[in-house]
Structure 1
Amino acid sequence: MKELWKKIDHFMLKYGGYSLLIATIATVAFFAVLQWGNDYAKEKTGTLEIKVAEDGKLSVDYNYDDKDEVYILWETDAGNIAAECKENEFPEQANSATGYYSYSHSSEKAVWNPEDADGNCYDTATVRAVLYQQDKDNRYSLENYITEITITLSDKNGKVEKCEDRYFGNPVRSDSDENWSQIYCIQEDSQKATYRYRTGNKLEKDAVLIMYWDSDGNNLAETDYAKGFYPEISIKDENKDLQNIKAVQQITCTKNGDENSSSRIRAGLISETTYKQENIEASDVMYQAEIVK
């Protein structure tokens, strides 16, 4: 059992900052499901990949018995992505303010382009396709997860093509050096806002870097993937009203309704050694970004 928990600890450290799912692990059972989930998916579906055309259209060839019941949550860490959604099953996403996510049936395509909601264009971005089983709302939730695939894209003179893999959250901004980091909003309503972090600093594949969030307003909360995802994001009641959170890719901040009050939210990457420390200083956090909300 000690060896298993040691593996869990290492797995959380290595993937907690980037994986959509790993940060939600709470039990050995969930660890086992996610640790070997992709291997099971490959046995069931073969090796899936995202195909890209020069005009930015993306598709996944999912041609299996359950294909009519499989949907895709498309996400991008920069630029914007929009699914064809010919059946109009997700009418609300036509008015998405950010363009960082989109839903489609597995048979439909999505289009990525480099123009981002932050006003910048991005030469390189990573797109993630999360495949999941249909439910009554057709929305993604943890229990419906099948597998996920990523692809890193580059825009070269208006033509989109596959390029060298980068971590999700590590895009390349046009007309900019690597020395930037940003906290950006992917979803917001009157009661809460959900944020992610990205940095232009090149992250090496063999580096173990872990997400770290901090706030002076004790208003951080983990996103509850088990209750479903976009457009209705929930927070984990057992992990809310926190000053700092480690090893989660995104956080959801509650709003207190006071327009005259604000809090400072900071994010960055920490090493495995720092992760194990009880107290983390600002100087321990690499590639920092902050916003005031």
Structure 2
Amino acid sequence: MKRYPAYEFPEYVDWAPDAAVQADFAARITANPDRAARIAALDTARLLDLYWGLVMARLHDVQLKRWVKQGVISKAWLGSGEEAATVGPCAALQAGDVVSPMIRNASALIERGVDLQVCFSGYLGTTDNLTGGRDLHIGDLAKGVIPPISHVGDIVPVIAGCALAFKQTGQPNVALTWTGDGSTATGAVHEGLRVAAALQVPFICVIQDNQVALGTHGQTHFKGDFLAYGAAYGCAVAEFDGNHVLDAYAATAWAAERCRAGEGPVILVGRTFRMGGHATHDER
């Protein structure tokens, strides 16, 4: 493979594998027998698709960051380092399922078949975008992507409603969205989870715990454990390594299987960390 220095990711300059990290990655795969079986069932093509998704997600963010430095756009919200928390869950879904990403989960659009040019045009505000250039938050209903909104957390009851529609119409589909550790402080998140559990709808809520809400550390704004939400609302709950795409995939595949079997919603807690500022204007 020919390498072009101008296009190298800065964090990969002089990079070398860490044996301890590799061992931890491998151990995570075998820690849960159900997930290990699901991962073992992935063929080479599926594994390459997962890798492609991670690379495309990072390239998307790299391009946005370059545009910020060039003055093309004013700022961007990046998911660098958290790609697995988006790519893994999306890979576990099927045609007909719906997702609604947070702005940091922009790679969900790519995973669901939205052209990369469309994703970029959302930031550029051009009229060829699906929103006609009116807003950054984009989606494509034809591809099962419901646009996110700025009011973090408010999309949870919306997607729970999509799951209710699937249940009422007898469609074997799943509705999935992400919410950050910070946005779990909003009432809308809890209203959505309570209704989803009460009505036993096929809904997956991924709590993407990147350990910081804007500029507030997670241990400052929340003293509990997100895994306790399962008992509180009466639904299944599990956690996955949000930096491990195979673990994220297998956990979501398990959750989706439960949903399709009529066993109600699932809360997944993805443990990850934010590798930068809240947005590019907040870089240190």
- The normalised TM-score by structure 1 is 0.26
Q: Greater helix share, 1 or 2?
A: 2
- Larger relative contact order (C-alpha < 8 A, sep ≥ 6)? 2
Q: Greater strand share, 1 or 2?
A: 1
- The normalised TM-score by structure 2 is 0.26
